[in-house]
Amino acid sequence: MVIMREVGEFNRADGYWIDAPAVDCPVQLPFGRCRLPAMDRVHVIGAGLAGSEAAVAAAKLGARVRLYEMRPKRMTPAHRTGQFAELVCSNSLGGEGQANAKGLLQAEMRLAGSLVMRAADASRVPAGGALAVDRERFSGFITQALRSNPSIEIVQEEVSELPSDGPVILATGPLTSDALAAHLQSRLGGRFLSFYDAAAPVVLAESINYHKVFRAGRYAQQADYLNCPFSEEEYRVFYQALSEARAHTPHDWEKLEFFEGCMPIEEIARRGFDTPRFGPLKPVGLPDPRTGKEPYAVVQLRAEDREERMWSLVGFQTGLKWPDQKTVVQKIPGLENAEIVRYGVMHRNTYLNAPRLIHPTLEFREHPDLFVAGVLSGVEGYLDSAATGWLAGTNAALKALGQEPLLPPEETMLGGLARYLASANPSNFQPMNANWALVPPVKRLKKLSKKEARGEMYKRGLETLTRWLTEHKLVLSVAVTP
C-alpha cells in the first residue's frame, strides 16, 4: 500500500513532496523530491528549439511531458523535414566570447544544462567567432534526445485548441498554424503581430569558383568564411539584376512587415544603391590577399555542414522567385556557375504582443497555467528562443508540481530578456534578441573600456546564475564557465 504525507506536510520552501524513510514514494523525482499520482502533466505545443528545450527542462524536474508536433503530417512553408528543432534560416546561434551578449546567453544555457547547447556543441562547424552548427546533426541530436526520454510522450498531430489538463507551453514558433492562431486570438483577445521573414540560399561547394573567392575572416579573425569580392562594375551589374528580380507576392491575408534583424536582401537594395555595401555586403576588414585592398563590396559564404560541402550566403536572406534568385546569385563573383541546393524562402512569422499579455516568468497574466516560449513570445533568434523555452519549461513544471514560477536575476541575459518581453512599450513592440542593454551596467570606481565592462557583466551574470540555480535546486551542481 502506498503511504502519502498529509497535505500540510508539503514543503513549500524546497518545493514538491519531500521523500522520507517513513514514506513510500510512488514516483521519485530529482533532488530527493517525490510526486503524487494526481499531479498534472505539462503540455508543450511545438517541437522547435523553444519547445524541445521546454520539454526537456520540464521532464528534468520530474514533470510528465506531452510534446505535440504537427510535422511531418502537416508541413510549413519553411520547413523541409520532420526533425525536431530544424533550423530554417541561418545555421548560426550567434557570436561567442565574453564581449558578446549571445556569448553570455550561451554560457548561461550551458550552466542550466540546455539540450540545445549540448546539441550545438556536438554538431558545431567552423565559423570564426560564431557558434554555427551542422543543421542535420543538430536537429538529429535533439530529435534522438526527445524520443529516448521516458518522461516525454510525443504526439505528432496538429493542435487546434489548448489542452485543459495541466500547464500548457505555447512554442509553436513563427509559423503557428492558422487553426491554432485563430483559437488563441479568440481566447486571448490581444492582437497578433505578423511579419515576413526570409532564409538565405545555400550553394554546393563544388560549384564555387575558388580562383575568384578568397578565404578570410573579418579583421584577420579565423579564416572560416569564403569571400566573393566585387569590383565597382561587377557590383553595378549585380545591383541591377537584384533591382529587377521578381519578389514573392504576398496573399491578400498576409501583412507585409519586415523585422530589421532578418531583412531580405532585395528589401535592403530598395533603400539605395550603396545600402547593401554598408550592410551585409560591406567589405570592411576583408582585404583581398591578391591585391592587398578591400574590394568594392563582398558577399560572404559560411559553411552549412562540418564537411563544408554546402555554403550559405551570409546576410542574404531572400524571398525572390527561384529563377530570379538563381540569376542574382550567379551575378556574384565566384558564383557564376553556382548550384543552389536550397533556395531562400519567404514565410509569415507570427508573434504575440507580449507586454500586453505575459509576466516575465512567461506565464500569461489572465490565463494561469498558460506559458509561451520562442519566437511567438517576441524573441528573435535561435538561442533566444531556446532560452525562453528553458524558462517556460522550468516554470510550467514547477506549477504542475505545486510551486510558483521563478524569474532569473536581472543580471543574467535570460533574466533581462524575460523582463523586457513583459515590460516593453506595447504600442510599437518588435522581436528582441540578446544584447547588453538588457542587463544593468557594472559599477566600478575606475572607468572601464567597453570590452572590460562587458567582461565584468559576463562574469557577474554567470556567478549570479550559478547561485540562483543552486538556491532553487534546478541543477545538481554548477560551475562558472570561463
If asked whether residues 89 and 188 sit together in one domain, one would say yes
If asked whether residues 136 and 251 sit together in one domain, one would say no
Place of cell 570590452: 451
CATH number at residue 299: 2.40.30.260
The CB density around residue 6, as the number of other CB atoms within 10 Å, is 6
Q: Are 163 and 317 in contact (CB under 8 A)?
A: no
If asked whether residues 417 and 294 sit together in one domain, one would say no
DSSP-derived letter for residue 129 is: T
If asked whether residues 61 and 155 sit together in one domain, one would say yes
**Between 115-123 and 49-60, two packed helices, what is the crossing angle to 10 degrees?**
120
Task: Map residue 59 onto helix, strand or coil.
Answer: helix
Residue 18 half-sphere exposure toward CB, CA atoms < 13 A: 9
CATH number at residue 429: 3.50.50.60
If asked whether residues 44 and 186 sit together in one domain, one would say yes
If asked whether residues 4 and 75 sit together in one domain, one would say no
Question: Would you say residue 479 lies in a domain?
Answer: no
Amino acid at 251: H
Amino acid at 268: I
pLDDT at 257: 59
> 14: which 3 cell numbers?
524546497
Question: Would you say residue 481 lies in a domain?
Answer: no
If asked whether residues 44 and 184 sit together in one domain, one would say yes
- Domain boundary (344, 362, 395) is at 344
Question: Would you say residue 251 lies in a domain?
Answer: yes
Domains in the chain: how many in total? 3
Question: Would you say residue 477 lies in a domain?
Answer: no
Question: Would you say residue 482 lies in a domain?
Answer: no
Phi-psi region of 402 (alpha: psi -120 to 50; beta: other; left: phi over 0): left
Q: Are 30 and 18 in contact (CB under 8 A)?
A: no
If asked whether residues 328 and 362 sit together in one domain, one would say no
- Please state, in angstroms and rounded to a whole number, the distance separating the CA atoms of residues 268 and 282: 13
Q: Spell out where 268-413 has E strands.
A: 297-303, 310-313, 340-342, 346-352, 370-372
pLDDT at 385: 97
Q: Are 367 and 183 in contact (CB under 8 A)?
A: no
If asked whether residues 340 and 353 sit together in one domain, one would say no
- Domain boundary (344, 362, 381) is at 344
Question: Would you say residue 157 lies in a domain?
Answer: yes
If asked whether residues 104 and 145 sit together in one domain, one would say yes
Question: Would you say residue 34 lies in a domain?
Answer: no
- Please state, in angstroms and rounded to a whole number, the distance separating the CA atoms of residues 224 and 128: 5
User: CA 41: distance to chain centroid?
Assistant: 25
Q: Which domain holds residue 289?
A: 202-344
pLDDT at 9: 34
If asked whether residues 453 and 356 sit together in one domain, one would say yes
Question: Would you say residue 316 lies in a domain?
Answer: yes
If asked whether residues 104 and 22 sit together in one domain, one would say no
pLDDT at 298: 98
- Domain boundary (297, 318, 344) is at 344
Residues 6+ apart with CB under 8 A from 270: 243
pLDDT at 65: 96
pLDDT tens track, the chain, 482 positions: 222 333 323 333 333 333 333 345 656 666 555 554 445 689 999 999 999 999 999 999 989 999 999 987 877 766 778 799 999 878 999 999 999 999 999 999 999 999 999 999 999 999 999 999 999 999 999 999 999 999 999 999 999 999 988 899 999 987 788 889 888 888 887 567 667 667 899 999 999 999 999 999 998 888 999 999 999 999 999 999 999 999 866 544 344 556 666 789 999 999 999 999 999 999 999 999 999 999 999 999 999 888 898 899 999 999 899 999 999 999 999 999 999 988 887 766 788 999 999 999 999 999 989 999 999 999 989 999 999 999 999 999 999 988 999 999 999 999 999 999 999 988 778 788 899 989 998 887 678 888 899 999 999 999 999 999 999 999 755 554 44
